[in-house]
Amino acid sequence: MISRNEAFELLKKYNKDPFHIQHALTVEAVMKWYANDLGYSDEEEYWGIVGLLHDIDFELYPEEHCIKAPELLKEAGVSEDIIHAVCSHGYGITVGCGTTIDVEPTREMEKVLFAADELTGLIWAAALMRPSKSTKDMELKSLKKKYKSKGFAAGCSREVIERGANQLGWELNDLLDKTLHAMAASEDTINEAMLAG
Ligand SMILES: [Fe+2]
């Protein structure tokens, strides 16, 4: 299996925008948090690597998101199970070039990635609106308010997030609550990593 550092180097080969790096580190941390929460502690690093690599093709090939990824990952020797997981986070989504991604998330890890990815974007947008610019002092109540407000972070699809919760058989509130906790727990470490460059 690709190591965590090799995965990080691979991410940086195709992604230069700090916003994309930060998003990848966030989804990595959230995936690791969920691995522990859901009883997969022995797969923590594996879940994290999937999170780190999930948007590998987005910066350079936004119109072919989840379509170009297998090529980039295969070339780097990444295994098929990771490639499947990466592609499955686009399941049912029609990307810019007009193709609808048909790789279905089947493993619990893949369903978590699908559900949490879009939501981390919304939570981070909500954090930036706060005086603290942080998730650490954000309450579920205020996140729910932002979530319901249609004008807020309109680019973060509530339909995708809700489909994600359904795929897991979770209440939306649980997904919001857990993902907020996961982000608050990792925020300082990610900020430090971003500053370190
Ligand atoms: Fe993403």
User: Using one digit for the tens of pLDDT, what is the confidence trace for 28-58?
Assistant: 999 999 999 999 999 999 999 999 999 999 9
**Cα–Cα dist 41/64, whole Å:** 33
Ligand 1 ion: nearby residues, β-carbon < 5 Å: 55, 117
**Would you say residue 197 has pLDDT above 80?**
no
Residue 104 — φ and ψ, nearest 5°? Answer: -85, 135
Q: 3 C-alpha to center of ligand 1: Å?
A: 20
Mean of all residue pLDDT scores within the chain: 97
| Residue whose token pair is 């299996």 | 1
How many other C-beta atoms are found inside a 10 Å radius of the C-beta of residue 160?
18
Average of pLDDT values for 166-178?
Answer: 98
Average of pLDDT values for 84-99?
Answer: 96
In which band, very low, low, confident or very high, does the pLDDT at 116 lie, cut at 50, 70 and 90? Answer: very high
Q: 56 C-alpha to center of ligand 1: Å?
A: 9
Q: 17 C-alpha to center of ligand 1: Å?
A: 13
How large a percentage of the chain has pLDDT more than 90?
Answer: 98
Q: 23 C-alpha to center of ligand 1: Å?
A: 7
Q: 41 C-alpha to center of ligand 1: Å?
A: 22
In which band, very low, low, confident or very high, does the pLDDT at 82 lie, cut at 50, 70 and 90? Answer: very high
Average of pLDDT values for 145-153?
Answer: 96
Q: 133 C-alpha to center of ligand 1: Å?
A: 20
In which band, very low, low, confident or very high, does the pLDDT at 111 lie, cut at 50, 70 and 90? Answer: very high
What count of Cα atoms within 13 Å lies in the side-chain half-sphere of residue 182? 28
Q: 111 C-alpha to center of ligand 1: Å?
A: 13
What count of Cα atoms within 13 Å lies in the side-chain half-sphere of residue 174? 11
Indicate the pTM of the whole model: 0.97
Give how far Cα 27 sits from Cα of 18, 63, 68, 136, 182, Å.
14, 21, 20, 16, 10
Q: 39 C-alpha to center of ligand 1: Å?
A: 23
Q: 13 C-alpha to center of ligand 1: Å?
A: 17
pLDDT score, position 66: 96
Average of pLDDT values for 159-168?
Answer: 97
Q: 139 C-alpha to center of ligand 1: Å?
A: 23
How many other C-beta atoms are found inside a 10 Å radius of the C-beta of residue 181?
15
Q: 142 C-alpha to center of ligand 1: Å?
A: 23
Residues 151 and 196: beta-carbon distance below 8 Å: no
Q: 86 C-alpha to center of ligand 1: Å?
A: 10
Average of pLDDT values for 89-100?
Answer: 95
**Cα–Cα dist 161/191, whole Å:** 25
